[in-house]
Amino acid sequence: MDHLDRFAQAAWERVKRGYYRPQDVHLRKPHSLVRAIASAQGDAIIAEVKPASPTAGDLLKGRGVAEIAAAYEAAGAVGISVLVDPDHFSGALEHLRSLAGVGVPLLAKDFVVDPVQLAAFHRAGADCALLIVTLFERGYPSLDLDQMIAHAHGLGLEVLLEASSQEELERALATEADLIGINSRDLATLEVSLPRAVRVLQGVRPHPSRPVLALSGISSGEEIRSLRKAGFSGFLVGTTLLQAEDPGGKLRELLAA
């Protein structure tokens, strides 16, 4: 059993114990992450609020989720990614609910294995949900990939679909997902390799016409420039921002690359 297996099994335990149980709908003006990325004047960076991680430990260091999200928005993030997995990332659905006043799209990040999770994200104010192709390849979710995407769309959620290999990228591009991402972090081992993500993108022919985002492992403007040159249309950055004393300032630095 690897890390992704443990993440998926823990997600099912959360489903079973009622972590995603129905709550009142959190009214919030909807925002489109697709449109935000398409209309970005410079680099499109989704900034992540991740309280902790298995590899980096505590990342908030006493700072509030809303405080960091406001700094990201002020610095020019096209969207904010919010971890809601409480078991491995100290996330919470309440973190989503606390960002009702944010004026950019909110991406809910979790290990989705059941549509009840998508409904919970929607009620908490998310605009977009992350789905991971590898989880479907391993048979963890209760719906197949196309059904889960359709369910998300039925709730009004956009879908960011994560791939980690050329085969998964081709599968992702054949779906109705709104956005495609390639994760530089191998979720089985948690090792990060930006060159591997580039190889995945460049190994698919014809070159994807749909925008593809680089997810995870980005720490510098030089890496942003390299990934942009390789064909990535946007970037998701988390740990690097949160490890900075001034997350908003670090985001401005990356956007100026």
Single out the residue of 77, 84, 67 nearest to residue 31, CA to CA: 77
DSSP label at residue 183: E
Single-letter amino acid code for the residue at 160: L
Q: Which of 46, 107, 118, 101 is nearest to 82 (CA)?
A: 107
The predicted pLDDT at position 216 comes to: 85
- Is residue 224 within 8 Å of residue 169, measured between CB atoms? no
C-alpha triplet 214, 215, 221: angle, nearest 5°:
65
Give the domain range for residue 113: 3-19+26-255
Number of domains in the chain: 1
> Distances from the Cα of 154 to the Cαs of 5, 125, 134, in angstroms?
28, 15, 23
> What pLDDT sits at residue 162?
96
String of b and e for 222-250 (b: at least 16 CB within 10 Å)? Answer: ebbebbeebebbbbbbbbbbbeeeebbeb
Q: What is the CATH number of the domain that holds 224?
A: 3.20.20.70
Query: Per-residue b/e over 67-99, b at no fewer than 16 CB within 10 Å?
Result: ebbbbbbebbbbbbbbbbbbebbbbbbebbbbb
pLDDT of residue 211: 85
For the segment 218-243, what is each residue's pLDDT rounded down to a tens digit?
Answer: 999 999 999 999 999 999 999 999 99
Q: Strands, E, within the chain: which ranges?
A: 45-49, 52-53, 57-58, 79-83, 106-109, 128-132, 158-163, 179-183, 212-215, 234-237
- So what's the pLDDT on residue 206? 67
Going residue by residue through the chain, which has 257 residues, state the pLDDT in tens, using 9 for 90 and above. 899 999 999 999 999 999 999 887 777 889 999 999 999 988 999 999 999 988 889 999 899 999 999 999 999 999 999 999 999 999 999 999 999 899 999 999 999 999 999 999 999 999 999 999 999 999 999 999 999 999 999 999 999 999 999 999 999 999 999 999 999 888 888 888 899 999 999 888 667 778 899 998 899 999 999 999 999 999 999 999 999 999 999 999 999 97
